[in-house]
Structure 1
Amino acid sequence: MPAAPVLVVGAGPVGLTAALLFAGRGLEVHVVERHARPYPLPRAVHLDDEVLRVLQAAGVVDDVLARSRPMAGLRLLDGRHRVLAEFRRSPDAGLHGFPQGSFVHQPDLEAVLAAAADADPRITVDRGVELVGLTPGRPVVATLRADDGADRSVRAAAVLGCDGANSTVRTLIGASMRPLGPPDRWLVLDVRAPGPLPVWPGVHQVCDPRRAATFMPVTADRYRWECRMAPGETVADLTTPDSLAALLAPVDPEAVTIERAVEYTYRAEVADRWRAGRLLLAGDAAHLSPPFVGQGLGLGLRDVHQLAWKLADVLGGAADDELLDSYQAEREPHARALIGVARLLGRLMTGGGRAGSVLRRAVLAVVRRIPVVARLATDSASPPLPAGPLVDRRGRPGRRLAGHLLPQPTVLVDGRPCRLDDVLGPGQAEIRPDGDRLVVIRADGSEVTADDPGGTVTGWLRHGRASAVTVRPDRIVRSARG
């Protein structure tokens, strides 16, 4: 392993998760964060079942689940808050071993990640320290500035910028953001209530082009409202008693305490370059998404899940730097696809003026009764990775397993229930069905046989007509054999 640590810039959820994943693969990690203390107020509120697997790989998923709650689904409302359609989600574990969607209070998530990082001897976290310069090389030389203004230079085997939308790392490597659509100004209102509010426990989307809005009960006593801001409107305009009464209806504004009221501009953007040598970007430093599919945080967690094994292989000598070329090549199309879905859903749910509202009501009256549409509205599955050096997408359309995330049921090993990812081990693995059982051959050559009681993976393999699949360390199927 390299003598110099990996430098992670930014101690938000993406940066801390990256640090835990790197450390889990034997790398020393140095995290720097320019803010002296974690941001105490809510921001991201949604985690899907796929990204919970990333937190599982980081070793923190059970602690996160203890501080989150399943999302009941999605309700589409008209401008008078009447239900147009309802798409429910089961609170039980789904295809990936967790509820399809969960609400979380971001400071709670960061506290779990920070505690795990502090407990890991391979990770050092320095808060109140800002990155101000980078000199590429092997090792990279980074200039850090403390709160007192003193500068120091440190060596790093690689640098990962998880430092948000205004990324310093992105600027220093000469990358810039490219817009995929116009910006969208929204009011974000986080409140707390002394007692439970009489509301449905899912996401409510107000499909009103005059005042598009979203409401969701988050965790414990926390709730969030958001609404699109008109040109010239300010936060003060939208937080008057009359404005709050209209936005929060049927909840009485007097029954809640406003914790945060801010203007936030949602953007759809992707960086033109995610890497310069061993200087890399992840999370909001690499892409920004509108909120309509709740994937802003999830995209960043997917980034570092994929990057962790690739960077560890390169720094450990198992692969050359060309492996890092696949990072943006795989992640950018995936990010663009999900951002595109978010933009499309935003237009479908909130655009079109008065005529759009009439058409939306008529269409939803029909499609909400079609099971396949209901599944699409609640499905958290992300699109498969495209074909490439690390994804062999041969096979019939509709049955190609390569590029897809492997399902994760609870399996039985010697009668003991285990999550499948934990059985696979940290490296690449091969899986083949043997009747109702799975034979797993790990990267170290060891073989494990597991019962698949619900037939989740065995059935999935049969549907893809695969006699075996090779699974990458990020649980993406690399190839399938017929």
Structure 2
Amino acid sequence: MTAVPVVIVGAGPTGLTAATLLAQHGVRCLVLDRWAEIYPLPRAVALDDEVHRILARLGLREEFAAISRPHRGLRLVDRSLRVLAEFPRDVTPGRHGYPQGSLFDQPELEAILRRNLGRHDNATLRGDTEVTALTQDADGVAVSVTDTVTGAPGVVRAGYVLGCDGANGSTRAAIGAGMRDLGFTQRWLVVDVVTEAELGHWEGVHQLCDPVRAGTYLRVGPTRHRWEFLLAPGEAAADFRDPARLYPLVAPWTGAVPRAELEVVRAAEYTFRAQVADRWRDRRIFLLGDAAHLTPPFVGQGLGAGLRDAMNLAWKLAGVLDGSLPEGVLDTYETERRRHAHAMIRLAKLVGVAMTAGGRWGDAVRRVVAPRLRLVPGLQRLATDSETPALRRSALVRRPPLGRGVAGRLCPNAVLDGDVRFDDVAAGRFAVVTSVAPSAEQRADLTRRGAVVVDAPPGSELRRWLAGGRARAAVVRPDGTVLAAGGTLADLCRAVPGLPPARHPPTSRV
């Protein structure tokens, strides 16, 4: 029976990210997927700068930049594409070192994730392998598998299992978890088109506010375009395989481009749902990504939520496996991630309802209200700011009772010197960011425990960030989240767990 510390079920972006992060921490892992090849059709198309930062931590800064493009924000448009309101995003690097939003083609992303995983000798990807059962005992998990080509059965022994097998995978059922419906279900037609023609539209997200058929348009790549249209009751994707019905939907954007120059890659029906699993863990088995939560696409957080799950869990699991962290820290995964995912799903649901509900009455309201939204104080920032909610209090997030300050939020990936940023220096370790000079003894103790001291001199971005949180120092976790801030420097130094030095090299510079 093969034995491995961690088995990951599913080789989508979440599973590949989790495997790479674990491998960076020196953990041997095996990724199992029922398919040998990448799913060839585009699905997710957007992520924010917080998630972009995770990809950079995997070592994919340059490769992701080559396959993605910044998007310029959101426009609300009517059926004639007249702009009702615009919420622009900054396409230059922000506090995390990247544009606030990026567009990409998921198969291309998965390809670079797979190539990158192959650079790690302690990570193995095995395709054509279906997981048929998970059986736990006190010491681990027996993962029963079947080779989908030969039909041969097998068993892999794992210390832990990460279920990254999507909404229809088997891991969730294996731990007896169900999905809690948050009250949002819509059927949409998703149309992906490739064309060499230059359509010439503003390169952000266009939200079509049309009482007859709400829709979305965005340019994904140099030649790739995505449309999504709300299906009416009784309609199905098959109804639009007829070009005579499909092309009129995209005609407002394609204009005079001949149909022969528009290659329809896909016209498929997707049901957008808002759901969260009622449990994310059973002893040694964890749920990540779509296995744990489903979000409508209106704020572009579906794929990103899975990568956040992987980032949150991987370093904790690595610490437990090497004995530097107690097993109880694994309880913080669901505590922190479930509330955050729930908040992002609620936001997506709210945006979806606001943009699509109400029929002609709702459309009339949008026509009146949308052009005036820019006058609402703070709404522009709320609509375009990519910062997501702070993590809730846990054993690894020491937020004050009223939730003020920077604890639970991401430390900025600030420029420290030249082109060197915070993530380059922290490199997956605990960090103490401080405007107060630690003593030689404190520095030595932190170094012994594998942590790094990052000074925040006067006038620096990190000094301003600390001051904004009314703190002089902060402890930052390996995933970039602030564990604690404020108090005395001595107290914060004691809050750093006794981790050994990180075994993986620093990330590429950003």
Q: For the structure 1 residues 266 and 157, does the alpha-carbon distance in structure 2 shift closer, same or farther, using more than 3 Å as the test? A: same
SS at match of 2:408: coil
Alpha-carbon shift at residue 282 of structure 1 (Å): 0.2
One-letter code aligned to 1:58? L
Whether 1:464 and 2:466 are equivalent positions in the alignment is no
Per-residue Cα deviation, 1:162-182 (whole angstroms, up to 9, x for no partner): 000012111111111111113
One-letter code aligned to 1:324? L
Q: How far apart, CA to CA, are the structure 2 residues paired with 1:245 and 1:330?
A: 45
Q: For the structure 1 residues 445 and 95, does the alpha-carbon distance in structure 2 shift closer, same or farther, using more than 3 Å as the test? A: closer
**Aligned residue for 2:157?**
155
Given the alignment, which residue of 284, 301, 314 partners 2:290? 284
Q: TM-score, length-normalised on structure 2?
A: 0.89
Moved more, 251-260 or 225-234: 251-260
One-letter code aligned to 1:250? W
Once the two structures are superposed, the pairs formed by residues 217-296 of structure 1 within 5 Å of their partners are: 217-248=219-250, 249-251=252-254, 252=257, 254=259, 255-296=261-302
Alpha-carbon shift at residue 446 of structure 1 (Å): 4.8
One-letter code aligned to 1:350? T
Whether 1:26 and 2:31 are equivalent positions in the alignment is no
Q: How far apart, CA to CA, are the structure 1 residues paired with 2:293 and 2:177?
A: 12
SS at match of 1:338: helix
Whether 1:392 and 2:398 are equivalent positions in the alignment is yes
User: Over the residues paired in the alignment, what is the CA RMSD in angstroms?
Assistant: 2.1
Per-residue Cα deviation, 1:296-320 (whole angstroms, up to 9, x for no partner): 0000000000000111111112233
Whether 1:78 and 2:81 are equivalent positions in the alignment is no
Q: How far apart, CA to CA, are the structure 1 residues paired with 2:134 and 2:280?
A: 15
Q: For the structure 1 residues 434 and 407, does the alpha-carbon distance in structure 2 shift closer, same or farther, using more than 3 Å as the test? A: same
* Residue segments in structure 1 that go unaligned for 5+ positions in a row: none
**Aligned residue for 1:196?**
198
For the 8 Å contact 2:4–2:30, the answer to whether it is kept is: no
**Aligned residue for 2:328?**
322
Q: Percent identical across equivalent pairs? A: 47
**Aligned residue for 2:56?**
56
For the 8 Å contact 2:390–2:409, the answer to whether it is kept is: yes
Q: How far apart, CA to CA, are the structure 2 residues paired with 1:312 and 1:359?
A: 52
Alpha-carbon shift at residue 12 of structure 1 (Å): 0.7
For the 8 Å contact 2:162–2:285, the answer to whether it is kept is: yes
Whether 1:478 and 2:479 are equivalent positions in the alignment is no
**Aligned residue for 2:92?**
92
* Residue segments in structure 2 that go unaligned for 5+ positions in a row: 488-510
**Aligned residue for 2:349?**
343
Alpha-carbon shift at residue 47 of structure 1 (Å): 1.4
Moved more, 79-88 or 280-289: 79-88
For the 8 Å contact 2:329–2:395, the answer to whether it is kept is: no
Given the alignment, which residue of 401, 408, 429 partners 2:406? 401
Alpha-carbon shift at residue 40 of structure 1 (Å): 1.1
Q: How far apart, CA to CA, are the structure 1 residues paired with 2:262 and 2:28?
A: 45
SS at match of 2:99: coil
Alpha-carbon shift at residue 357 of structure 1 (Å): 1.4
For the 8 Å contact 2:6–2:158, the answer to whether it is kept is: yes
One-letter code aligned to 1:174? G
For the 8 Å contact 2:3–2:156, the answer to whether it is kept is: no
Alpha-carbon shift at residue 425 of structure 1 (Å): 2.9
SS at match of 1:402: coil
One-letter code aligned to 1:99? P
Q: How far apart, CA to CA, are the structure 2 residues paired with 1:279 and 1:395?
A: 31
**Aligned residue for 1:215?**
217
Once the two structures are superposed, the pairs formed by residues 331-370 of structure 1 within 5 Å of their partners are: 331-370=337-376
Once the two structures are superposed, the pairs formed by residues 117-132 of structure 1 within 5 Å of their partners are: 117-132=117-132
Alpha-carbon shift at residue 210 of structure 1 (Å): 2.3
Q: How far apart, CA to CA, are the structure 2 residues paired with 1:239 and 1:253?
A: 17
For the 8 Å contact 2:429–2:451, the answer to whether it is kept is: no
For the 8 Å contact 2:299–2:347, the answer to whether it is kept is: yes
Q: How far apart, CA to CA, are the structure 1 residues paired with 2:220 and 2:192?
A: 9
One-letter code aligned to 1:94? G
**Aligned residue for 2:507?**
none
SS at match of 1:400: coil
Q: TM-score, length-normalised on structure 1?
A: 0.94
For the 8 Å contact 1:173–1:276, the answer to whether it is kept is: yes
Q: For the structure 1 residues 236 and 134, does the alpha-carbon distance in structure 2 shift closer, same or farther, using more than 3 Å as the test? A: closer
Whether 1:304 and 2:310 are equivalent positions in the alignment is yes
Alpha-carbon shift at residue 237 of structure 1 (Å): 2.2
**Aligned residue for 2:502?**
none
Alpha-carbon shift at residue 3 of structure 1 (Å): 6.7
For the 8 Å contact 2:9–2:165, the answer to whether it is kept is: yes
Q: For the structure 1 residues 448 and 345, does the alpha-carbon distance in structure 2 shift closer, same or farther, using more than 3 Å as the test? A: closer
**Aligned residue for 2:12?**
12
One-letter code aligned to 2:55? L
Moved more, 367-376 or 468-477: 367-376
Equivalences, count: 473
Alpha-carbon shift at residue 419 of structure 1 (Å): 2.2
One-letter code aligned to 1:456? E
Alpha-carbon shift at residue 363 of structure 1 (Å): 1.7
Q: For the structure 1 residues 321 and 476, does the alpha-carbon distance in structure 2 shift closer, same or farther, using more than 3 Å as the test? A: same
Q: How far apart, CA to CA, are the structure 2 residues paired with 1:291 and 1:378?
A: 16
Moved more, 377-386 or 311-320: 311-320
Per-residue Cα deviation, 1:400-448 (whole angstroms, up to 9, x for no partner): 1111111112221xxx42121121132221101269xxx9966525545
Q: How far apart, CA to CA, are the structure 1 residues paired with 2:168 and 2:401?
A: 42
One-letter code aligned to 1:217? R
SS at match of 2:323: coil
**Aligned residue for 1:108?**
108
For the 8 Å contact 1:215–1:224, the answer to whether it is kept is: yes
SS at match of 1:263: strand
One-letter code aligned to 1:193? T
Moved more, 225-234 or 55-64: 55-64
